[in-house]
Amino acid sequence: QVQLQESGPGLVKPSGTLSLTCAVSGGSITSDNWWSWVRQPPGKGLEWIGEIYQNGRTNYNPSLKSRVTVSVDKSKNQFSLNLSSVTAADTAVYYCARNLKWELGDWGQGTLVTVSS
């Protein structure tokens, strides 16, 4: 089974850029799947951020589109998230996931990112 692992700084300053990486193991990022980022503020619901295909094609949530970049590194079998101009409202657990058809089948364990000075 595919396993995903998020990594990156747990603390980001306001107005800075949040950068996370998702390492994929047990499968190839060049398989016929899209790969997503999802976040969950503490005690709240889930918000889909965006997705990427192996060829670099992306789709983003319109509510975040102006601040989000998702990229893929096939040589390292991983994909990444950059979220710019962060505020306290971006504090959340960030998950990476593997899309199946129209649902998210495999998830990383999640990583908490806090936006604070």
Partner 1 sequence: EIVLTQSPGTLSLSPGERATLSCRASQSVSSSYLAWYQQKPGQAPRLLIYGASSRATGIPDRFSGSGSGTDFTLTISRLEPEDFAVYFCQQYGSSLYTFGQGTKLEIK
Sites of contact with partner 1 (CB under 8 A): 36, 38, 45-48, 59, 61-62, 95, 100-105, 107-110
Min separation Cβ 44 and partner 1, Å: 8
Min separation Cβ 106 and partner 1, Å: 8
The DSSP result for 54-78, as a single string, is TTS-EEE-TTTTTTEEEEEEGGGTE
Nearer to partner 1, 32 or 103 (CB): 103
* E strand segments, the chain: 3-7, 11-12, 18-25, 35-40, 47-52, 58-60, 68-73, 78-83, 92-99, 104-107, 111-115
Nearer to partner 1, 9 or 93 (CB): 93
Min separation Cβ 34 and partner 1, Å: 10
Nearer to partner 1, 17 or 21 (CB): 21
Nearer to partner 1, 38 or 81 (CB): 38
CA atoms within 13 A on the CB side of 37: 32
